[in-house]
Amino acid sequence: MKQLSDNQLFKTSSFIDGKWHKGTSTFEVLNPANNQRVANVFNADTTETALAVSAAKNAFTLWSKKSANDRAILLRRWFDLIIEHKNDLAKILTLEQGKPTAEAIGEITYGAAFIEWFAEEGKRVYGDTIAAPSNDKRILVIKQPVGVVAAITPWNFPNAMIARKAAAALAAGCTFVVKPAALTPLSALALAELATRAGIPHGVFNVVVGEDSVGMGKVLTQHPDIAKFTFTGSTFVGKKLLTQCATTVKKVSMELGGNAPFIVFEDADIDAAVEGAIVSKYRNAGQTCVCTNRILVQQSIAEQFTQKFAKAVKKLTVGDGFIEGINVGPMISTAAVDDVKQLVRLSVDLGAKILVGGSIDDQGDKFYQPTILTNVTNDMPIANNEIFGPVAPIITFDSEEEAITLANDTEYGLAAYFYARDIGRVWRVAEGLDFGMIGINEGIISNAAAPFGGVKQSGNGREGSKYGLDDYLEIKYLCMGGI
Ligand code: SIN
C-alpha cells in the first residue's frame, strides 16, 4: 500500500446523500501490476443505487435553483482541491488501474480541467428570442437542467471520465449518480470526498460502487426519476444500455468504442508522425477509445516510417507504473491480455508478421509487450476489432482515396489521425474521414476545450467544450400571447 499524504482520500464505501454507506458484503480491488489486494470495498446493490437516485432527486430542487455563479464557486473549490491533492489521487489511480505515475497525474489534471472549464461555462447558458408569426405573440427559448443524471464510467480513466460528465451535469444544474467500474472504484470515491470538502451539497454528487453491474445498470437506465443517462464504455454494452433507456425514453449520451486509423502520407514529417503514433498508440497501454488502432502508411514511405517507428517502440519500457521512467504499465486483467493475444494470433495465422514484441512481457501476466505487426490488411481481426492493448498493426496504401476508403471502412467513428503537409490534402482528408475527432499532425487530441465524441457506432453527444453543456440542458419554448 502506497503512503498517501491525506489518508482520508482512501474511501471504501458508496457515497450517497453526503454519507458513506457501509454494506454487509465486500469485493476486492486488485493492483493490476502485481495482483495484490489494494482494498476491500463495500458492495452496493440495487437498493443503494435507488437510494442514491432518490437523494439526487431531492437535491435537484435546491441545486437547480442556485445561480450559475454560486454553482461555479463550489465547482471551482472542487477543482482547487483536486489539484491540491493530485499526487495522492494519482497514487490511488495507479494502484487500482496500473497506468504510469506521470500518466496518472496527467489524468488527474485532465479530469480537473473539465471541472474548471464547466464552472465557467455554466455561466454562459444562453436562451433566444424568435420573431413570432403574428404581432400579438412573442417567442422565447430558455434552457433548463434536465434533472437527475445517471452515469456509468469505465476503468481506463477512473477519474477523468467521471469528472468530464459530472462537471457538465453539475454546472448545468443537474444532480448526479455515478457507478464507476468495479475494477477501479477508489478514484471515484476520492473525488466524492473532495466534492464534499468543497461544499457541494449532499445528494448532488453520489457514487455507488458495486459488482452487480447488470442490476445496478438496470436501475440507472430505467428508473423513472432519472432524466438523462450517460455512458463511456464499449459499443457492445452501450447498445444494451441504450435499449434499456428506451423504456423511459431518457435523454442519452454515449461515448463508445473506436477503431482509430492513423494515416501517414508521403508528404508527412515522418519524425513527427512517429512521435504522434507512439503517444496515441501506447499511452495507457493502448487502453483508450481514441488510441490508434490501425496505422495506414503510404507505400512510398512505408519502409522509412516502419524502421523509425520500430526503433522508437523498442525504447519503450514496460513495468509497474510506480517505477520511475516506465512508459507502458500492465493491462487491466488477464482476460484483456487474452483478447489481445487472440487478435494477434488470428492475424498472424492470416499472414501478419510480428516486427516487434508479440508476447507477454517477463514483468508478469498482465504486461503485454509493445508490439508492431506488419503485412496487415484491413480485413484482419487486428484491424477490424478495437484492440484495446499495445499492438500497432501497419497497413500500406497507394493513394489518398484508398487511404480514406480504408480508414472509413469500419462501423466506428470516434477518432482518426493523419500526418500530411500539403494543405489541399489536409482539407480533403479532414473532410473525408467519417470520425467525430481528427488529429491533424497531432497524436493527442483530448482536452477540456474541445468537443469529445463520435459518430456512427461510436456513440452520440459531446463531452467538454461549449457543446458539452447541451447534453444536460432541455430547451423550453415560451409563447407569450395577448400582447
Ligand atoms: C476514453 O478512452 O474513453 C477517453 C480517452 C480520452 O479522454 O482521451
Output the CA torsion 5→10→16→20 (10° steps): -100
Taking Cα atoms as reference points, which of 280, 268, 250 lies closest to residue 304?
Answer: 268
d(CA 332, CA 315): 22
Query: Residue 269 Cα, ligand 1 centroid: separation in angstroms?
Result: 26
Can 289 be counted among the known catalytic residues? yes
Confidence of residue 115 (pLDDT cuts 50, 70, 90): very high
Separation of alpha carbons 37 and 199, rounded Å: 32
Any ligand 1 atom below 6 A from CB of 153: no
pLDDT reading at 2 higher than 80? no
Q: Which atom of ligand 1 is nearest to the CA of 232?
A: 3
In percent, the amount of the chain with pLDDT more than 70 equals 100
**Cell, residue 256:** 463508445
Nearest to 326 by CA among 108, 33, 35: 33
Predicted confidence at residue 23, as pLDDT, reads 84
pLDDT digits (tens, 9 = 90+) for 235-254: 999 999 999 999 999 999 99
Q: Which residues pair with 328 in a beta bridge?
A: 318
CA of 443 to the centre of ligand 1 (A): 13
Q: Is the CB of 156 under 6 A from ligand 1?
A: yes
pLDDT number for residue 143: 98
Residue 255 appears among annotated catalytic residues: yes
* Residue 383: per-residue pLDDT: 98
Average pLDDT over residues 27-35: 98
Query: What pLDDT, on a 0 to 100 scale, did the predictor assign at position 1?
Result: 57
Cα 398 to ligand 1 centre (Å)? 31
Cα 55 to Cα 48: distance, rounded to the nearest angstrom: 10
Q: How far is residue 84's CA from residue 77's CA, in Å, rounded to a whole number? A: 10
Scan for cell 454560486, then name that residue: 70
- What is the per-residue pLDDT across 38-87, written as a single tens digit (0 to 9) for each? 999 999 999 999 999 999 999 999 999 999 999 999 999 999 999 999 99
Q: CA–CA distance from 272 to each of 240, 263, 269, 416, 438 (Å)?
A: 40, 12, 5, 16, 16
Q: Is 113 in the pocket of ligand 1 (CB under 6 A)?
A: no
- CA-156 nearest atom, ligand 1: 2
Q: Identify which of 345, 364, 363, 367 has the alpha carbon closest to the alpha carbon of residue 354.
A: 345
For a ligand 1 pocket test, name from 234, 288, 444 the mutation site with the most ligand atoms within 8 angstroms of its C-beta. Answer: 288
Question: Is the beta carbon of 289 within 6 A of some atom in ligand 1?
Answer: yes
Would you call 328 helix, strand, or coil by DSSP?
A: strand
Q: What is the DSSP letter of 2?
A: P
Whether 436 has a pLDDT exceeding 90, the answer reads: yes
Q: Which of 423, 355, 399, 409 is nearest to 377 (CA)?
A: 409
Q: How many CB atoms lie within 10 A of CB 21?
A: 18
Could you read off the pLDDT of 187-243 as tens digits, one per residue? 999 999 999 999 999 999 999 999 999 999 999 999 999 999 999 999 999 999 999
Element spanning 475, H or E:
strand 473-480
In 10 A of CB 314, how many CB atoms? 12
Grid coordinates belonging to 314: 523498442
Chain centre distance of CA 151: 12
For 363-380, the pLDDT digits (tens) are 999 999 999 999 999 999
The DSSP annotation for 302-357 comes to: HHHHHHHHHHHHHT--BS-TTSTT--B---S-HHHHHHHHHHHHHHHHTT-EEEE-
Decide: 280 in ligand 1 pocket, CB within 6 A: no
**What's the gap in Å between 72 CA and the centre of ligand 1?**
25
Question: What's the CA gap between 336 and 339, in Å, rounded?
Answer: 5
Q: What whole-number percentage of the chain has pLDDT above 90? A: 99
CB 153 within 8 A of CB 232: yes
- Mean pLDDT of the residues in the chain: 98
pLDDT at 319 over 90: yes
Pick the catalytic residue: 289, 291, 386, 400?
A: 289
Across 225-259, b (16+ Cβ under 10 Å) vs e yields bbbbbbbbbebebbeebbebbeeeebbbbbbbbbb
DSSP string, 76-135: HHHHHHHHHTHHHHHHHHHHHH---HHHHHHHHHHHHHHHHHHHHHGGG---EEE--SST
- Residues 285-303, mean pLDDT to the nearest whole number: 98
Say which residue the cell 476486492 belongs to: 28
pLDDT band at 279 (very low <50, low <70, confident <90, very high): very high
Q: Which amino acid is at 262?
A: F
Residue with cell 403574428: 134
Cell (9 digits) for 338? 487474452
Question: From the CA of 296, how far away is ligand 1's center (Å)?
Answer: 22
Please tell me which residue in 255, 266, 386, 400 is annotated as part of the active site: 255
Question: Residue 367: how many CA atoms within 13 Å on its side-chain side?
Answer: 23
Inter-CA distances, 196 with 75, 113, 471, Å: 11, 19, 25
Distance (Å, rounded) from C-alpha 175 to C-alpha 93?
25
Using left for φ > 0, alpha for ψ between -120 and 50, and beta otherwise, residue 391 falls in beta
Q: What is the DSSP letter of 468?
A: T
Q: What is the 3-state secondary structure (H, E, C) of 3-25?
A: CCCCHHHCCCCEEECCEEECCCC
